Amino acid sequence: MASHGIEIKGLYKIFGPRGRDYVDAVKAGLSKADLNEKHGHVLGLKNIDISMPAGGITVVMGLSGSGKSTLIRHINRLIEPTYGEVVYDGLDVCAMKESELREFRRHRTAMVFQKFALLPHRTVIENTVYGLDIQGVPRSESTKRGQYWIERVGLNGFENHYPNHLSGGMQQRVGLARALTNDADILLMDEAYSALDPLIRVDMQTVLLDIQAELKKTVVFITHDLDEALRLGDKIAILRDGEVIQQGTGQEIVLSPADDYITAFVKEVNRGRVIRAGTVMRPLEGPTDGLRLSSAMMLEAAAKEMCEQGQNRALVVDDAGVPVGILDLQTIVSAMVTPAATEHQQIAAE
Amino acid sequence: MATCEFLPNALCSFPAIGDQYIRETRKVIDDGFKGIVREYGFVIDAVTQPLQVFLNSFERLFTNSPWIVVLIAMMAIVYAGSRSIRITVGTALAMCAIGLLGLWNDAMITLAITTVATLIAIIIGIPIGILMARSDRIQGTINPVLDVMQTLPSFVYLIPVVVIFGIGKVPGLIAVVIYAVPPMIRLTNLGIRLVDKEVLEAADAFGSSSSQKLWNVQMPLALPTIMAGINQTIMMSLAMVVVASMVGVGGLGKNTLQAIANQFFTYGFMNGFALVAIAIIFDRTSQAYGKRLQKHSEVVHG
């Protein structure tokens, strides 16, 4: 399946009866607080520009009230934008007519919700085929497809249970199976795992990563958890007060946070799982034999590999297997413990 | 009164409009009303004709069938609805007691009109409830009408019904339906409005059309509330059947009315008992059915 990227261009959302009238004022610099106080309108999103890569997971991260759930609802237009474009496969979602929008939602998108939003009167299998029911696929066909995804998310044997009879983690598996059965290019996950216990959450992240490695959908994942964002995201956008304050790969955000807000955010991160060997390696010198590690390897994994092999020096190789640098335990440990600010200066100095 | 000596008469006893004017006005309105009824009698007949046929066929079905067939059918329906042996046996005992008291035929007539009235109330009430749930403006228009219908003493709207439709079973039926339909409308509206917003959003996100949303999500999730509405409607039509006996509805209600007029204490009590028994049968069955519908929402895990 050929996926397409999603381009969000200059998107504004102002909540209130006359939101449209204030777009120009906001563009000219009217602040969120002033808009609320003087005009009684709430600024939801301000000048959002994000390009979400095709076949990758884009994580939108922010605390509550940052506008992240509002943003994801613009992609399938559950919320009407005030101004701006959301382009998918050459089509502006914001300009679609109602019937086009319905077709777009039926065939191009699937969504997983924070509070599961399953139909309580339908069994697991009936919930799973819900999207196909809407498309008008006959049950004989849809049940087969639903059954496959029920097995993939590990709900074998629960087909005829009702959602309320399942635990939260299992209910969200149903939510995921329902979205995947739809076989849409875009998978929207709105804080899908935020209501789950930490262990189950990690488990579900693994399920998503496994399935994604195979399907290569364009996934938009909303979370307030930086660890989750770093684990899942090919690209991360951080939102605050309706504005994107930084976007890039996890490594870019951890190594060079855009401001104090993000610096505070990334302080507690396990850097060994974010920074890659290629980023901190030293220039190539000395012998070119011994342990070889991929430059895309995370530092933690690299350190583990080196310890297991009893080496404290390894050769870093690129995708083609050509040595590009060397890594020793000393470098790894210092990269893993150095606070972001000093690391940033070091990289700048180099 | 002592104070009236100091007060002008107009402030003491309320100055009513003269009898003359009232009489005139009354005459104009009444004559106009009757004129319209006479003028459009054929329209009224056309409207009431199907009701008459509907009601009569139900009544014949209930009264002409052998009692044992009716009893077995009732037990089957009660069991199918409630899945409870206790309620089924209770129904059989109550109906036998009614039969032993010689009230079987009257009970059948009451049962027929209650069934017909409830069916009509459901057919009218659910679509209006759905419309109300869809639009705040329609809700704002219909709600005051329902308020009036529910606060108006039941005797009062027998008057226009009798003036327009005359005396008989069908006018009685219409009065019963008018009295019994408000809870059906209100609870359908409420049930649909209370459907979880998140689930509705999910339905939208998967591209549901508004009729798919109604039948896949809103109606099933509102069903327990709608069932409560049906239960209320049944109870209210049973209550109104007694009042409607004043305009010519037969059955247990008529007997009760006669008992009141003639001070037949025991006879009145027996008929009252029969009505209560039928009410309890309807109530228990429909409630047990409603509860069974909600079985899926029992939470097993916390």
Q: What is the pLDDT of residue A340?
A: 46
Q: Which domains does chain A have, with CATH numbers?
A: 53-85+93-266 (3.40.50.300), 271-349 (3.90.1280.20)
B210 chain-A contacts, CB cut-off 8 A: none
Give yes or no for residue B177 having a pLDDT over 60.
yes
B298 chain-A contacts, CB cut-off 8 A: 164-165
Q: What is the pLDDT of residue B302?
A: 46
Summarize pLDDT for B245-284 with one digit per residue, the tens: 988 888 899 999 999 899 999 999 999 999 999 999 999 9
Query: How close, in Å, is residue A209 to chain B by CA atoms?
Result: 23
Our CA angle for B231, B235, B238, nearest 5°, is 140
How many residue pairs from chains A and B have C-beta atoms closer than 8 A? 74
Summarize pLDDT for A91-116 with one digit per residue, the tens: 899 899 999 999 999 999 999 999 99
Contact A130 B216 (CB under 8 A): yes
Contact A117 B202 (CB under 8 A): yes
Query: How close, in Å, is residue B241 to chain A by CA atoms?
Result: 36
**Regions of chain A where pLDDT drops below 70:** 1-3, 338-350
For the record, the structure tokens of A89 come out as 């496969």
Q: What is the pLDDT of residue A349?
A: 47
Put simply, the chain B residues between 243 and 302 with a CB less than 8 A from any chain A CB are: 296-301
Give yes or no for residue B209 having a pLDDT over 80.
yes
Q: What is the pLDDT of residue A255?
A: 86
Query: How close, in Å, is residue A5 to chain B by CA atoms?
Result: 19
A62 Cβ partners below 8 Å, 6+ apart?
A: A68, A224, A238, A239, A240
Q: Which fold has domain B20-293?
A: MetI-like fold (1.10.3720)
A173 chain-B contacts, CB cut-off 8 A: none
Best B199, B200, B201, B206 residue to mutate vs chain A (most A CBs within 10 Å): B206
With tokens 């899945």, the residue in question is B83
Summarize pLDDT for B86-95 with one digit per residue, the tens: 999 999 999 9
What does the mean pLDDT of chain B come to? 90
Q: What is the pLDDT of residue B208?
A: 93
Contact predicate B133/B189, CB 8 Å? yes
Q: Which of B206, B209, B221 sits opposite A130 (nearest CB)?
A: B206
* Selection from A338-347, B122-131, B291-300 with the highest mean pLDDT: B122-131
Q: What is the pLDDT of residue A2?
A: 55
Q: What is the pLDDT of residue B215?
A: 92
Q: What is the pLDDT of residue A1?
A: 46
Query: d(Cα B213, Cα B195) in Å, to the nearest integer?
Result: 11
A78 chain-B contacts, CB cut-off 8 A: 201, 204-205
Distance linking the first and last C-alpha atoms of chain B: 72
Q: Which of A105, A115, A168 sits opposite B206 (nearest CB)?
A: A105
Best A100, A119, A124, A200 residue to mutate vs chain B (most B CBs within 10 Å): A119
Q: What is the pLDDT of residue B2?
A: 66
Neighbours of B281 (CB within 10 A): 23
Summarize pLDDT for A41-93 with one digit per residue, the tens: 999 999 999 999 999 999 999 888 888 999 999 999 999 999 999 999 888 99
Query: d(Cα B216, Cα A126) in Å, to the nearest integer?
Result: 11
B216 chain-A contacts, CB cut-off 8 A: 119, 130, 133-134
Q: Which of B207, B217, B297 sits opposite A164 (nearest CB)?
A: B297
Judge if pTM exceeds 0.90: no
